[in-house]
Amino acid sequence: MREFACCEYLTLRIEEAQQVRKRFAERLHLKVVFVDASRRFLRKLEGVADPERKRKIIGREFIDVFRASMRQTGKADFLAQGTLYPDVIESVSVRGPSAVIKSHHNVGGLPKSMKFKLVEPLRFMFKDEVRKAGLELGLDEEFVYRQPFPGPGLAVRCLGPVTQEKLALLREADAIFIEEIKAASLYRKMWQSFAVLLPVRSVGVMGDDRTYQYTIALRAVESLDGMTADWVRLPYDLVGRVSSRIVNEVRGVNRVVLDVSSKPPSTIEWE
């Protein structure tokens, strides 16, 4: 039985921490060391609005939490990561004058000096290649076709400074969006679908009362490898249903907008 350390879940989606623990423990038969470092991450991210600073703080704290957990449970010589080639391309300048687009926490966001040896078997593969390999290895399709999720989690889908309150709003809105996407049998047909909490409040009305609340953006894209992407033409009735549910079920949100930008010029994630 080998150990797998699972750190910090505040920026994960609803019930995702539990799902990860169950998958590694029950399906892969690994000993899971679960660490709740939520307060630590929130404290380090307090007041930080710049996306690059967010990513690098999260990368540094991720390693520090991993080190601390290993000191308690036993020595660890290796750090295994699911780094993909698009992460590398966007994080560092490789093979020519390419620009750094954003520091993925598992690449440009990691501290320069680490005592762990990195193990990254997927580093030069694209997502479609990884999925083919996963199916060949006999992994279950639910796991293989899980939509990509950023390493820094919801922290880079919560624009501006991150707070526990904002993350809670985003988590609820995102869960509604994904639930409706799956109910419409569209989840496997697109690359990514998720909600973004904007640092924008607007005036609204609920019943006879005035509201001044946050805005949620819906993002759904189709892509083969994540390097380029086009926005998905979601059915209007689906968009309407998601919007109605979010503004009625997520207290603190009174407006929903749809992101119709492709990559390039936009990136898939907002930060």
What is the pLDDT at residue 62? 85
Whether the per-residue pLDDT at 185 is higher than 90: the answer is yes
Q: Is the four-CA dihedral 154, 244, 232, 17 of positive or negative sign?
A: positive
Average pLDDT, the chain: 87
Lookup result for tokens 């009305």: 205
Among 72, 59, 83, residue whose Cα is nearest residue 5 = 72
- Tell me the C-alpha to C-alpha distance, in Å, between residue 232 and each of 24, 216, 218, 256, 260: 32, 17, 11, 16, 8
pLDDT at 186: 97
Give me the percent of the chain exceeding a pLDDT of 90.
Answer: 52
What would the two tokens of residue 65 be?
């939490």
Asked if 121 contacts 165 with a C-beta cutoff of 8 angstroms, the reply is no
The pLDDT score that the predictor gives to residue 172 is: 97
Mean pLDDT of 137-148: 87
The pLDDT, as a whole number, for residue 6 is 54
More confident residue, 186 or 39: 186
CB 268 within 8 A of CB 237: no
Radius of gyration of the chain (CA): 19
| Residue 48: pLDDT band with limits 50, 70, 90 | very high
What is the set of domains in the chain, with CATH numbers? 3-146 (3.40.50.620), 157-258 (3.30.300.10)
What is the three-class DSSP state of 192? strand
Amino acid (one-letter) located at 192: Q
Sequence-separated (6 or more) residues with CB below 8 Å from residue 44:
57, 61
Look at residue 98 and tell me whether its pLDDT is greater than 60. no
Q: Tokens standing for 136?
A: 């060949």
